[in-house]
Amino acid sequence: MLPDWMAARILHQDQEILILDKPAGLAVHPGPRGGPSLSDWLPALQQGRRHLPQPAHRLDMDTSGCLALGRTKPAIAALNRLFAEGRTRKTYWAVLIAPPPAEEGVCEAALLKRSSKEAGWRMFVDPAGLPARTEWRVIGRDGAATAVELTPRTGRTHQLRLHMSHLGCPIRGDGFYGGGEGRLQLLARTLILPLEPERRATAPIPDHMREALARCGVS
């Protein structure tokens, strides 16, 4: 049976596609250290169909919002192509701990993954990395905090988090890249899948971001 809390997080459902409002704190895939993940709920999300639904992309564990899953093998393949070719349209909302350098702009900075036995892995801005592009615009302000809409044009690991840090305005709660303590203030707000027919979804503001966004005049 699909639990009520998970059923309430289905933003779109048809015979081929599911779009979920993934909660912050839930990993999409099992990690090396174990712990709960969305994979634990795939049998319930199957809802009697032949195949387990499969996520077509990732969201960081602490990022909430729109996540697309395919419910059939052709749908899974079609979604994988869309994301691989960068043809999906995604927007994110974030609360930054400092204002960005302008009201809107573009960050183009290549990202490279480095790892060590002592510190594990993390991403760095490095010309030797993979190209990454993020468009951003301010949507609200409150003193030191700034709310922005982020549009990634590439899909690199930790791209939005690292690009905002690179601009000198880390996302609030991103202790990994200078955003301080607390919960990560990053929401995968909208997702548009250019299929036939087109699918689109908008995720609600999660409770842990509601107050900060409201102070910035965003609701």
What residues are annotated to the active site?
Answer: 60
Residue 182: Cβ within 10 Å count: 12
* Sign of the CA dihedral with 158 first, then 156, 52, and 2 last: positive
Strands 10-13 and 17-22: what pairing? antiparallel
